[in-house]
């Protein structure tokens, strides 16, 4: 009689980009026979559902930034006896509470915010800012090797697989029909970044790039995607391009629809953001623009990606600063990245 499969609960990161970069870990767990269920906050759950390795996604009813101890206790009671292992991907204390309250026997994660007792297999926090895919992938090794005092972020796999997302063809076709688009017949821009404006290429540059593309191919629209917080940004870009076909859909799609629109795009231009990682995981041609952050930490792992980063070219000792706002007020790392240069990179994808 074959042994019963290991039932694993993965506590997902709360941000889209981090969730995408966790995909190779989930694939590794499923490949060795673990049944993977993911607990995720509602706004990131569609990304997890697009991962073939995930058997089920449990949407957790927690508010962003709140402890919600009563809700966590109720959820933990419901989960008791259902899982053999838990992988806690966020480093926060509260992320480890549910697996502990649920009495899941093996609870794996990084030491994070002093989680002694909540986790019973802990990896040391790596120094600096390691590549995030390897950071998550190391947790697979921690589950099968009792090396909690010495496993480094890259030990599980020196060259982790690239993140991959998949959607049913019918889902992509339905979203395209909803917005009157055809496969490969439009560009996607993602001009926002949840973390803050220091990550954002100037809106005027996005508008100039849109005008250049539409002047060359007037029948290939530019679609602007993002969250409701970025709706004003997208509308401002579109208004400055008018009357050409530049469509501000930020805040007007569900995340499921946004994923489908990225999957069907001709190419994507974005800042270092969650949607950048989505485009990479769908292997769409893309140009990724970095300034305050580093492609050494969170690169788009996509053979069709072109990364533009002016740190070395301009000799910017302040980059990467990983700040939400430029402390000097100039954001030269992105402001001096000319639209004409992005256009060349886009044509080279």
Instruction: Examine the domain organization and report whether 194 and 293 are in the same domain.
Output: yes
- 214 with 241: CB under 8 angstroms? yes
User: How many CB atoms within 10 Å of residue 67?
Assistant: 12
Instruction: Examine the domain organization and report whether 216 and 341 are in the same domain.
Output: yes
- Domain stops at, among 111, 144, 177: 144
Distance of alpha carbon 311 from alpha carbon 292, whole angstroms: 9
End-to-end CA distance of the chain: 51
Q: Does 221 map to a domain? A: yes
Question: What confidence score (pLDDT) does residue 144 get?
Answer: 65
**In the structure encoding, which two tokens stand for residue 79, read together?**
């989960």
Residues 6+ positions from 216 with CB-CB distance below 8 Å:
none
Instruction: Examine the domain organization and report whether 96 and 34 are in the same domain.
Output: yes
Question: What confidence score (pLDDT) does residue 343 get?
Answer: 97
Least confident segment among 107-116, 139-148, 294-303 = 139-148
Which carries the bigger pLDDT value, residue 205 or residue 331?
205
Instruction: Examine the domain organization and report whether 116 and 229 are in the same domain.
Output: no
**In the structure encoding, which two tokens stand for residue 258, read together?**
């946004």
Instruction: Examine the domain organization and report whether 309 and 239 are in the same domain.
Output: yes
Instruction: Examine the domain organization and report whether 202 and 105 are in the same domain.
Output: no
Provide the CATH number for the domain around residue 45: 3.40.50.2000
Q: Does 163 map to a domain? A: no
pLDDT in tens, 233-259: 999 999 999 889 999 999 999 999 999
Least confident segment among 256-265, 282-291, 319-328 = 319-328
Q: Does 79 map to a domain? A: yes
Count of domains forming the chain: 2
Question: What confidence score (pLDDT) does residue 145 get?
Answer: 53
Evaluate if residue 87 carries a pLDDT over 50.
yes
**In the structure encoding, which two tokens stand for residue 37, read together?**
């269920």
Question: What confidence score (pLDDT) does residue 151 get?
Answer: 35
Instruction: Examine the domain organization and report whether 208 and 314 are in the same domain.
Output: yes
What's the whole-number mean pLDDT along residues 297-309? 95
Rounded to two decimals, the pTM is 0.92
Question: What confidence score (pLDDT) does residue 314 get?
Answer: 85
Distance of alpha carbon 45 from alpha carbon 234, whole angstroms: 24
Instruction: Examine the domain organization and report whether 129 and 178 are in the same domain.
Output: no
Q: Does 204 map to a domain? A: yes
- 34 with 6: CB under 8 angstroms? yes
Altogether, the residues listed in the chain come to a count of: 349
Q: Does 150 map to a domain? A: no
Least confident segment among 79-83, 145-149, 195-199, 244-248 = 145-149
- 251 with 270: CB under 8 angstroms? no
- Phi, psi (rounded to 5 degrees) for 246: -120, 115
Evaluate if residue 157 carries a pLDDT over 50.
no
Q: Does 241 map to a domain? A: yes
Q: What whole-number percentage of the chain has pLDDT above 90? A: 78
pLDDT in tens, 260-286: 999 999 999 999 999 999 999 999 999
Instruction: Examine the domain organization and report whether 300 and 206 are in the same domain.
Output: yes
Question: What confidence score (pLDDT) does residue 194 get?
Answer: 77
What's the whole-number mean pLDDT along residues 30-52? 97
Q: Does 155 map to a domain? A: no
Q: Does 159 map to a domain? A: no
Instruction: Examine the domain organization and report whether 274 and 188 are in the same domain.
Output: yes
- Domain stops at, among 129, 144, 159: 144
Question: What confidence score (pLDDT) does residue 63 get?
Answer: 75
| 233 three-state secondary structure | helix
Mean pLDDT of the chain: 92
Evaluate if residue 154 carries a pLDDT over 90.
no
Helices 203-216 & 339-347 angle (0-180, nearest 10): 50
What's the whole-number mean pLDDT along residues 303-314? 93
Evaluate if residue 147 carries a pLDDT over 70.
no
Instruction: Examine the domain organization and report whether 122 and 177 are in the same domain.
Output: no
Structural domain range at position 96: 7-144
pLDDT-derived band at 340, boundaries 50, 70, 90: very high
- Domain stops at, among 109, 129, 144: 144
Question: What confidence score (pLDDT) does residue 23 get?
Answer: 98
pLDDT-derived band at 349, boundaries 50, 70, 90: confident
pLDDT-derived band at 231, boundaries 50, 70, 90: very high
Question: What confidence score (pLDDT) does residue 161 get?
Answer: 84
User: How many CB atoms within 10 Å of residue 296?
Assistant: 14
Instruction: Examine the domain organization and report whether 54 and 187 are in the same domain.
Output: no
């Amino acid at each position: 009689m074959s042994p019963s499969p290991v039932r694993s609960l993965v506590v997902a990161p709360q941000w889209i980009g981090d969730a995408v970069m966790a995909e190779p870990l989930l694939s590794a767990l499923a490949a060795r026979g673990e049944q993977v269920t993911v607990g995720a906050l509602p706004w990131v759950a569609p990304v997890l559902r697009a991962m073939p390795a995930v058997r089920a996604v449990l949407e957790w009813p927690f508010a962003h930034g709140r402890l919600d101890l009563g809700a966590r206790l109720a959820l933990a009671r419901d989960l008791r006896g259902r899982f053999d292992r838990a992988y806690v991907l966020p480093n926060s204390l509260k992320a480890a509470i549910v697996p502990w309250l649920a009495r899941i026997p093996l609870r794996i994660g990084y030491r994070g915010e002093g989680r002694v007792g909540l986790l019973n297999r802990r990896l040391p926090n790596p120094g600096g800012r390691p590549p995030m895919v390897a950071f998550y992938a190391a947790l697979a090794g921690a589950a099968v090797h009792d090396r909690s005092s010495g496993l480094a972020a890259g030990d599980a796999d020196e060259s982790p697989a690239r993140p991959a997302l998949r959607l049913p063809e019918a889902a992509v076709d339905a979203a395209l029909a909803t917005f009157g688009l055809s496969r490969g017949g439009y560009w996607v821009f993602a001009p926002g970044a949840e973390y803050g404006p220091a990550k954002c290429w100037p809106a005027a540059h996005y508008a100039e790039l849109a005008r250049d593309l539409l002047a060359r191919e007037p029948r290939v629209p530019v679609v602007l995607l993002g969250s409701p917080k970025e709706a004003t940004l997208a509308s401002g870009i579109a208004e400055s391009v008018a009357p050409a076909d530049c469509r501000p859909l930020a805040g007007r799609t569900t995340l499921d629809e946004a994923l489908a629109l990225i999957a069907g795009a001709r190419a994507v231009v974005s800042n270092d953001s969650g949607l950048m990682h989505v485009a990479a995981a769908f292997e769409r041609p893309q140009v990724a623009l970095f300034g305050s952050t580093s492609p050494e930490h969170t690169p788009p792992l996509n053979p069709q990606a072109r990364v533009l980063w002016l740190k070395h070219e301009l000799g910017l000792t302040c980059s990467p600063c990983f700040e939400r706002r430029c402390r000097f007020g100039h954001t030269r790392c992105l402001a001096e990245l000319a639209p004409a240069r992005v256009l060349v990179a886009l044509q080279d994808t």
